[in-house]
């Protein structure tokens, strides 16, 4: 990673506000997502995040097998997305 890319990553990792996040993952034809309330930056080289999630959630094998996930911040206008994932195997 170039120095400018590293600075962008470090800057982005420092911007995690408290709030509600949607974590999603996909592998083959399976997709899953869950609401997350706690996200922390744990390191910058390499970029590491700590996400609190209930053990055994349906998204676990998707993250394990795909070795990736996406994390998005939900705002006050994202109530439909929040309703879609709240209660469905909630963490």
Asked whether residue 90 is assigned to any structural domain, the reply reads no
Residue 91 lies in a domain: no
CATH value at residue 55:
2.30.110.10
- 38 CB contacts (<8 Å, ≥6 apart)? 50, 51, 52
Which residue's structure tokens are 């910058």? 44
- In whole angstroms, what is the distance from residue 60 CA to residue 74 CA? 21
Task: Report the DSSP beta bridge partners of residue 49.
Answer: 41
Q: What is the pLDDT along the chain (91 residues), one digit of tens a residue?
A: 677 887 887 777 776 667 889 999 999 999 999 999 888 888 878 888 888 887 888 899 999 999 999 999 898 889 999 999 887 554 4
* Confidence (pTM): 0.73
**Residue 34 falls within a domain, yes or no?**
yes
Residue 30's domain comprises 3-85
Burial profile 50-69: b = 16 or more Cβ within 10 angstroms, e = fewer: ebebeeebebeebbeeeeeb
Is residue 44 domain-resident? yes
Domain count, the chain: 1
């Amino acid at each position: 990673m170039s120095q400018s890319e590293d600075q962008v990553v470090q800057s982005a990792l420092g911007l995690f506000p408290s709030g509600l996040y949607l974590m999603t993952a996909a592998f083959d034809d399976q997709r899953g997502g869950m609401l997350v309330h706690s996200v922390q930056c744990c390191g910058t080289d390499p970029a590491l995040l700590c996400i609190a999630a209930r053990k055994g959630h349906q998204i676990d094998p998707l993250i394990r097998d795909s070795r990736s996930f996406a994390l998005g911040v939900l705002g006050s206008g994202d109530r439909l997305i929040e309703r879609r994932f709240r209660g469905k195997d909630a963490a």
